[in-house]
Each structure stands twice: as structure tokens, then as C-alpha cells.
């Protein structure tokens, strides 16, 4: 079985331990390193070679955002997910600009967190619902309707509508009566037609007024 290797960067000892227990106790996942600070992470993550790093923003000394920026410079293929309590618009966009592939709140349910780790490995950009709305509202202010939406089929629009409501791929497959692989095939077509590379970008275009 292929394991998804995860590193954790979190200064709260209890939260860090809980995340490690969740990851190591879930089939197909392994926590390969856990760090209290950005400095520890920058030294320990490169040799651990994780697939995904869960990074808190509010760390002692260097912030999680600075940590992500430096990690991405060393490990361009590393997927970084911010896991934080902050819903501040400025922090969201600073994180994404630094190279984060997603932004989740710490109250994210464990099952959704594990889904997000897998999603980011397949080119997605997972975000908590409230965070996604902030991103969508931001793009609403910048741009008008997108003509590429007219290229989507009815089924592709149905799938996008479910994505926009926060449904997971498995739930979409069950709702539409199709297989998980068919959902992924539809998503690839949607990404090609809309000229996007992630779930969040596709939803932003779909919800654009």
C-alpha cells in the first residue's frame, strides 16, 4: 500500500500529538515528523521527505507563512496545508502567495482533514467552507462572468454545484449515481474546459456572478 507521508508544524503540544495520533491511526497515512517551530521544521522536514506538511501560522519566532515560503524553495513538490484558527483575509492570501496549497481551520473534522491531505496530492486546493467563501468573494469583486462556463455539460454543472456546496468526491459519486473514478474523470474535463488546476479555482469560476 502506498503511504501518504505527513509532517506537522504546530507549537501546541496537545494539538501536535493529536494530529500525529490521527494520521498514524488512519490507514494509508504516516506521520514522518512533527515540529514545534518553523526553525525545527526547516531542519527536519527536508530529510523526512513528506508528501504533505500541515503548518500552523502562529509559531514562535518565524511564522508558519515564512516557514512555508522557505520549505517550498527547498522542496518545490511538497504540498503545504495551513491549519490554523485564523480567518483573516490578509493571512489567507499571504499563505497562498507563499506557496500553501490549501487553508483549513483547526476545527475541521478529522475525516475532512484526511480527505484534504489526499485532495491536495491530486492537484486540489482544499479550504474550509468559510475560507473558500472569502476567496470567492474576493474574485467576485475583480471579475465578471466567465465565458468558459458555457462549455460545461449539464452533468459537469451538477458536479460543480455539489463541489461548491462542500461535498466530498465520494458523496458526489453517491448523489449522482456514478463511480468515484467517473467523478475524477469529470473533474479532469472540467479543469481542462475552465483552464484551472484545482477544485477551488473551478468553484470560484462557477460561483462568479
CATH at 197: 1.10.10.10
Mean pLDDT, range 86-107, rounded to an integer? 84
**pLDDT tens for each residue of 159-183:** 988 887 778 888 899 999 999 899 9
Task: Please tell me the distance from the alpha carbon of residue 125 to that of residue 92, in angstroms, as a whole number.
Answer: 13
Say if residue 65 is in the same domain as residue 152. no
Mean predicted lDDT score pLDDT of the chain: 86
Number of domains in the chain: 2
**pLDDT tens for each residue of 1-27:** 689 999 999 999 999 999 999 999 999
Say if residue 151 is in the same domain as residue 110. no
**pLDDT tens for each residue of 53-95:** 999 999 999 999 999 999 999 999 999 999 988 877 778 888 8
Task: pLDDT band for 135, please (50, 70, 90 cuts).
Answer: low
- Going from the C-alpha of 87 to that of each of 29, 91, 101, the distances in angstroms are 27, 8, 16
Non-local (6+) Cβ contacts of 49 within 8 A are 5, 32
Let me know: does 112 contact 166? Beta carbons within 8 Å: no
Say if residue 37 is in the same domain as residue 128. yes
Say if residue 115 is in the same domain as residue 161. no
Phi (first) and psi of residue 159, to 5 degrees: -65, -45
Say if residue 70 is in the same domain as residue 127. yes
The CATH code of the domain that includes 82 is 3.40.50.2300
pLDDT over 90 at 148, yes or no: no
Say if residue 169 is in the same domain as residue 115. no
Say if residue 130 is in the same domain as residue 162. no
Task: Please tell me the distance from the alpha carbon of residue 21 to that of residue 131, in angstroms, as a whole number.
Answer: 26
Last residue of a domain, one of 85, 109, 135: 135
- Specify the pTM: 0.66
Q: Which domain holds residue 201?
A: 144-207
Say if residue 14 is in the same domain as residue 114. yes
Phi (first) and psi of residue 36, to 5 degrees: -85, -15
pLDDT at 146: 65
* 101, 153, 151, 192: CA torsion to nearest 10: 30
Coil, helix or strand for 170?
Answer: helix
pLDDT at 132: 66
Mean pLDDT, range 35-64, rounded to an integer? 95
Amino acid at each position: 500500500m502506498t503511504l501518504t507521508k505527513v509532517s506537522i508544524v504546530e507549537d501546541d503540544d496537545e494539538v501536535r500529538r493529536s494530529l500525529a495520533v490521527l494520521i498514524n491511526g488512519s490507514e494509508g497515512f504516516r506521520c514522518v515528523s512533527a515540529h514545534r517551530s518553523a526553525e525545527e521544521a526547516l531542519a527536519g522536514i527536508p530529510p523526512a521527505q513528506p508528501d504533505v506538511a500541515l503548518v500552523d501560522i502562529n509559531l514562535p519566532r518565524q511564522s508558519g507563512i515564512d516557514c512555508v515560503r522557505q520549505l517550498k524553495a527547498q522542496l518545490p513538490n511538497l504540498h503545504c496545508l495551513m491549519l490554523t484558527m485564523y480567518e483573516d483575509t490578509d493571512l489567507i492570501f499571504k499563505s497562498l502567495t507563499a506557496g500553501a496549497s490549501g487553508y483549513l481551520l483547526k476545527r475541521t473534522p478529522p475525516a475532512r482533514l484526511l480527505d484534504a491531505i489526499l485532495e491536495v496530492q491530486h492537484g486540489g486546493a482544499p479550504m474550509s467552507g468559510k475560507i473558500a467563501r472569502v476567496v470567492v468573494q474576493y474574485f467576485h469583486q475583480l471579475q465578471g462572468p466567465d465565458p468558459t462556463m458555457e462549455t460545461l455539460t449539464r452533468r459537469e454543472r451538477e458536479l460543480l454545484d455539489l463541489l461548491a456546496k462542500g461535498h466530498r468526491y465520494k458523496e458526489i459519486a453517491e448523489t449522482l449515481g456514478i463511480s468515484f473514478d467517473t467523478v475524477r474523470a469529470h473533474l479532469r474535463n472540467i479543469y481542462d474546459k475552465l483552464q484551472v488546476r484545482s477544485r477551488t479555482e473551478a468553484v470560484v469560476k462557477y460561483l462568479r456572478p
